[in-house]
Structure 1
Amino acid sequence: MKLRTFFVEDNPTIRENLIATLAELADVEAVGLAETEADASEWLSINPGAWDLVIVDLFLREGSGLGIVTSFQQRLSSQKLLVLSNYATADVRERCLELNADAVFDKSNEIDALIDFCIDLNTAKA
């Protein structure tokens, strides 16, 4: 069973590479994507049961990934929200986790850990 994933990333190259990598290595299926906080919040609000995982970048074309993390603190226990950012400093990690993000990964050096998280989540879901 595929892990239904919503991607919030405004860089098309990063987004396409991430989707392809996770589809191949972690059995992830992209169910939607957004480039702005408003678009992501709208889709997630309209489709509350249509996703298992949300992967959010913090710096978006409009708005902030932190706003999405803040808005979706309440979700099903089976639904996970991850932050994937180039700015995964200790302070950023702490703040995201305080806001109920399930994990925070650095784009530059923690992609393998993200893949492992997705594989584990998909295994637990099966």
Structure 2
Amino acid sequence: MPLRIFIVEDKPAIQRLLAEALEEGIENCTVVGWAASESEAVQAMRAVEWDIALVDLFLEQGSGAGVLAAFKERSPRKHMYVVTNHGSLSIRQECATLGVDAVFDRSKELDALLDRVRDVSRALAGR
């Protein structure tokens, strides 16, 4: 079964960049959906099966923090990562209180994000 990823990002160019990096850089990985707003993301993520959600904090409508809060209580098999250009310590601390598994600064830590996703993919394949 492929690793299923949901992307919450309001900028189509960034959404495409993430989807391409994931699907080209990680074997057996598929993007199962994406949403541009908080309400759209929460609704869509409740309707589709996903293993990893990549969430931007700053959306045109609502916020990524609202998405994170909606899924704070989730199966330990579901991972939520924040992908942002605002990876300050205070942002990272706020995300930790919302149950985020990790925060990645997309301008500096894209390779680290891909490594983490590969680790999850390997763990799922080993079950």
The two structures have a TM-score, normalised by structure 1, of 0.95
Deviation at 1:2, TM superposition (A): 2.0
Which position in structure 1 is the counterpart of 2:58? 59
Provide Cα deviations, 1:25-79, integer angstroms capped at 9, x if missing partner: 12321101000000001112233xx110100000111010011111100111111
Query: What stretches of structure 1 of length at least 5 have no aligned partner?
Result: none
Moved over 3 A (4+): none
1:40 aligned partner, one-letter code: A
Instruction: Tell me the percent identity.
Output: 40
Q: CA deviation at 1:3?
A: 1.1
Pairwise mapping of residues 1-126 of structure 1 onto structure 2 (< 5 A)? Answer: 1-27=1-27, 28-47=29-48, 50-126=49-125
Deviation at 1:4, TM superposition (A): 0.2
Cα distance, 1:87 vs structure 2: 0.7
Identify unmatched segments of 5+ residues in structure 2. none
Q: In structure 2, what residue type is equivalent to 1:20?
A: E
Instruction: Give the structure-2-normalised TM-score.
Output: 0.94
Q: CA deviation at 1:24?
A: 1.0
Residue identity in the other structure for 2:85: N
Q: Counterpart of 1:37 in structure 2: which amino acid?
A: E
Per-residue CA deviations over 1:4-36 (Å, capped at 9, x if unaligned) read 000001111111011011111123211010000
My pick for the range that moved more, 7-16 or 20-29, is: 20-29
| Other structure's SS at 2:116 match | helix
* Count of residues in correspondence between the two structures: 124
Q: RMSD of the alignment, in Å?
A: 0.9
